[in-house]
Amino acid sequence: MKGYRIIADSGSTKTDWVITHHNQSIVGKVHTMGFNPYFQTTEFIRSEVQKGFETAGFDRESVSEIHFYGAGCSSMEKSLIVEKALAGAFPNAEIHVDHDLIAAARATLGTHDGIACILGTGANSCVWQGGKVVHNIPSHGYIFGDEGSGSYLGIRLVKLYVENRLDRELTGQFEDMFRLSREEIINKTYREPNPNVFLASFASFFSGRIQHPILEQIMRTGFEDFFKIRVALYPNFQSYPLGFVGSIAFYYRNILEEVADQYGMKIHKFTKCPIDDLVEFHIKNPTAHLID
């Protein structure tokens, strides 16, 4: 008798796990921290996954199949870190690990061709054709890339704050919201784990304040950089529909659509969290892993 199947979508901030019967019905959901093999070891990921499922009271040995989509899983080397962690946590499961770009494409474009984009904690994009990634301009993470992402927005906001270049109104609101000194921010950035997630957390400051010219300019510049570097360099980019996943794209879609329009493009779909769309994709395409 077949066991349960799990579909998981993992960004750097959180992971959503949906547990289904092989007859496609959903039996439960689990939420854990986000995982990224660039910053975490196999043992750490395995331990955190086990804790999450034990807290939820779910029998890990009853899982027979896992489809895991994760940030940082773009190479065989990094995917193997996650695959080994999942094999340790789910000893009876057949495991498939894919990049989060494939999750973005399947969630927003399905089996149709287009350009799939991520704007959440990080940023990335790819050209999706025939159910496969055929072009990708690597993002290289929050230091060298991630244009328009939460990390990008947070870094630029924090830079203005620590350099005393925010106006008095924004400075007061920033200090009231985060309760961190400049020294504490610098120490957490350079000395504590997962600085990309920490810096991205400051993107929450933009919510409800996007009309402020300083904040709007940061965001608009980030989105323009994203299109210039992550979209417009693909051959015939204007011929493709666009799909976006991630909280930054979802909540600031109005500005993003304005920038897309500047490039002569339309956004086909926004999805804050792709997990529900991924579950639906696997229900409709049960043999999708055969073409991974």
Concatenated DSSP letters of 228-271: IIIITTSTTGGGS-EEEESHHHHHTHHHHHHHHHHTT--EEEEE
Establish if 41 belongs to a structural domain.
yes
Establish if 241 belongs to a structural domain.
no
CATH number for position 42: 3.30.420.40
- Domain boundaries, position 25: 4-104+274-291
Establish if 142 belongs to a structural domain.
no
Is the pLDDT reported for residue 216 higher than 90? yes
Is the pLDDT reported for residue 290 higher than 60? no
Establish if 215 belongs to a structural domain.
no
Q: pLDDT digit string (tens) for 37-76?
A: 988 999 999 999 999 999 988 889 999 999 999 988 988 9
Establish if 182 belongs to a structural domain.
no
Establish if 9 belongs to a structural domain.
yes
Establish if 238 belongs to a structural domain.
no
> Which pLDDT band, with edges at 50, 70 and 90, does 287 fall under?
low
Domain count, the chain: 1
pTM: 0.87
Q: pLDDT digit string (tens) for 157-198?
A: 999 999 999 999 999 999 999 999 999 999 999 999 889 889
CA distances from 172 to 46, 155, 161, 165, 176 (A): 41, 18, 10, 12, 6
Q: pLDDT digit string (tens) for 112-164?
A: 999 999 999 889 999 999 999 999 998 887 788 889 999 999 999 999 999 99
Mean of per-residue pLDDT scores for the chain: 93
Establish if 96 belongs to a structural domain.
yes
